[in-house]
Amino acid sequence: MERAPLVKEQEPETSDAVIQTRKLFVLSANDKTALETMMKNLGIYLEARPEFFQNDLMGNVAYTLGQRRSLMQWRVAIPSTLSFDLNEALNGGKIMPVREADPPQIGFVFTGQGAQWATMGRELYDQYPIFASTINACDLYLASLGSPFSLICSSRVPSYLLKF
C-alpha cells in the first residue's frame, strides 16, 4: 500500500488586511433631519479620505460615536468592516433613522461569579425601595407567566431548592 503524498497545509494569511474586525457606528441626533445631515457629512468625509480613514480612523470613529457622544432620540447603527462598506450604507438610502420610543431602563443581573456576597439581593431589597418595587413587579410578572419559583418568597419554590 502506498502512502499519500505529504501535502503541506498553507497557513492562513495574517496580514492586517485579513484581520479586520467589524465595528458598530452609532449616530444619533435630536431630530431626523439632523441625523440625516450627520450621515451625509460622514459619507462625504469618507469619500474624501478613504485610505487614511481605513488605515487609521475606523476604530477611533466607531469608539467616539458609540461611547463618547450622547445618545439622542433619533438613532442609526451601522455595522461595518471597511470604510467603503460604511460609506455605501450611509449613502445607499437603505438605512433609515429610527426614533427611540421609550428611554432605556436599567436591569440588575446577579451572575454569581464572585462580585456578590451572600444575601446581597436581600440587603438591596431591604435598603432601596426602588429596588424592592422592581423586584416585586418582576415577581408578579413571573407569577403571571406560571413560574414555579418566586423572587421574594419561598412559597412557590420547590422544597429541594430550599436546602441550598
How does residue 156 score in pLDDT terms, banded at 50, 70 and 90? low
Question: Where are the domains positioned within the chain?
Answer: 23-99, 120-161
1-23 pLDDT per residue, tens: 455 444 445 544 544 544 568 88
Average pLDDT, whole number, for the chain? 77
Residue 110's pLDDT is 64
Share of the chain above pLDDT 70, in %: 70
Q: What are residue 25's DSSP bridge partners?
A: 78
Q: What is the mean pLDDT of residues 126-131?
A: 89
3-state SS, one letter per residue, for the chain: CCCCCCCCCCCCCCCCCCCCCCEEEEEEECCHHHHHHHHHHHHHHHHHCHHHHHHHHHHHHHHHHHHCCCCCCEEEEEEECCHHHHHHHHHCCCCCCEECCCCCCCCCCCCCCCCCCCCHHHHHHHHCHHHHHHHHHHHHHHHHCCCCCCCCCCCCCCHHHCCC
Q: Global pTM?
A: 0.52
How does residue 100 score in pLDDT terms, banded at 50, 70 and 90? confident
The strand pair at 23-29 and 98-99 is best described as unpaired
**What's the longest Cα–Cα distance across the chain?**
79
Residue 161's pLDDT is 47
Q: Rounded distance, CA 77 to CA 95, Å?
A: 9
The domain 23-99: what is its CATH number? 3.30.70.3290
Residue 164's pLDDT is 38
Which grid cell is 35? 441625523
